[in-house]
Amino acid sequence: MSEQEQERLILDTVDKFLQKEVRPYAIELETSDTYPDDIVEQMKAMGLFGCIIPEEYGGLGLSASTYAKVIELVSREWMSLSGIVNSHLIMAYITLTQGTEQQKQHFLPRFATGEIRGGLALTEPNCGTDLQAIRTVAKRDGDDYVINGSKTWISNGIKGSCYALLVKTDPQASPRHAGMSMFLAEKRDGFNVGRKLKKLGYKGIDSAELIFENYRIPANCLIGEQEGKGLQTALSGLSLGRINVAARGVGVAQRALSESLSYSQVRETFGQPICQHQAIQLKLADMATKTEAARLLVKQAADALDRGERCDLEAGMAKLFASEAAVHNSMEAMRIHGAYGYSPELVIERLYRDAPLLAIGEGTNEIQRTVIAKRLIEKYPV
């Protein structure tokens, strides 16, 4: 079977699963903010928690390009599911690319099956974009480290069991990033979950506070078993995360477009379908163009990652444009649907609430612009 045939088979399988097991229940689960346990179990059985984990470690071994297409499909139906996978796979990707062989052998097969699920623990109450300002500290104590501090807005914080945890092993280091390290931290004594955080959208998935009180962790859980590499490790995982968020943006933008195309052909005003009105046609044209442009930017970023190239520029561009396309299309879809778009009985209202997260998560779009500009100056010096 060719690579293209394999990709088509995977995407068809995922699409059928989404149509049968997700679309009929997404609005109800979203409205009640209920974690989709049954759906997650089916995702585990399909191997989706091992999407980008190589086959030698029990994963599906998908390319970043195919993975992005899977995430686009998932996000068309219910964006929250893509977040359950994303945070987990960033942790897996970091382990794969930065971990020791012992860490890979121990964790990756269990990540792939979903036996261990979790995510990325970076953000703190007083620290988001500026990761070097984190305050969670790990102090060496014999063969262990003892960790104290807290994290917030952590996806999979309640239902997950293991996290790529960013800490400071040397709070006095200069530059600050030289004192940062990252651990694979499993829940045990001293690792406590705080409250579930309420959100405008992106419901169903659990976003929570994590609290560490004299949390003792073996030194061999330090990723790469070398202190001072935490920031670089986190940033390496964010390239995959930004491709995921960009693919989500394409999915949301496409669903908003598809719903608008259908509705505009059946809704009539002044004796004709509203798709015949120029004002609506202009909206549909812009929505379609933004969606396709975003899809191509995601492909460019994913292809660069698959080639093993540095792709923070491409991933930043894709994340920036695709998330803004999602915000734009969701708003235009609501305008096209009028009062019906404002009702939670239709998917438009959910898209409108979900889309803004994409402009914030995995680095705000403001920081994406600075990343893009710095990389352009670096890449094209005078």
CATH topology of domain 232-379: Butyryl-CoA Dehydrogenase, subunit A; domain 3 (1.20.140)
pLDDT at 271 over 80: yes
Cis peptide before 175 (omega within 30 of 0): yes
Of residues 288, 194, 159, 184, the one with CA closest to residue 234: 184
CATH 1.10.540.10 boundaries in the chain: 3-118
Average pLDDT over residues 330-340: 97
Question: Mean pLDDT throughout 87-113?
Answer: 97
Range list for CATH 1.20.140.10 in the chain:
232-379
Inter-CA distances, 57 with 64, 92, 101, 267, Å = 17, 11, 11, 52
The per-residue pLDDT of the chain, averaged, comes to: 96
Which residues are within 8 A (CB) of 40 and not within 5 positions of it... i.e. 6 or more apart?
Answer: 84, 114, 159
At the topology level, CATH places domain 119-229 in Butyryl-CoA Dehydrogenase, subunit A; domain 2 (2.40.110)
Is 4 or 290 the better-scoring residue by pLDDT? 290
Considering the chain, tell me which residue range(s) the CATH 2.40.110.10 domain(s) occupy.
Answer: 119-229
Cite the active site residues: 362
Considering only CA atoms, which of 218, 198, 223, 200 is closest in space to residue 208? 198
What would the mean pLDDT of 53-65 be, rounded to a whole number? 97
- pLDDT tier for residue 3 given thresholds of 50, 70 and 90: confident
Out of 77-81, 123-127, 287-291, least confident range: 123-127
Q: Where are the beta strands (DSSP E) in the chain?
A: 118-121, 137-141, 144-155, 162-168, 180-186, 191-196, 207-218, 268-269, 272-273
3-118 CATH fold: Butyryl-Coa Dehydrogenase, subunit A; domain 1 (1.10.540)
Q: 């052998």: which residue's tokens?
A: 105
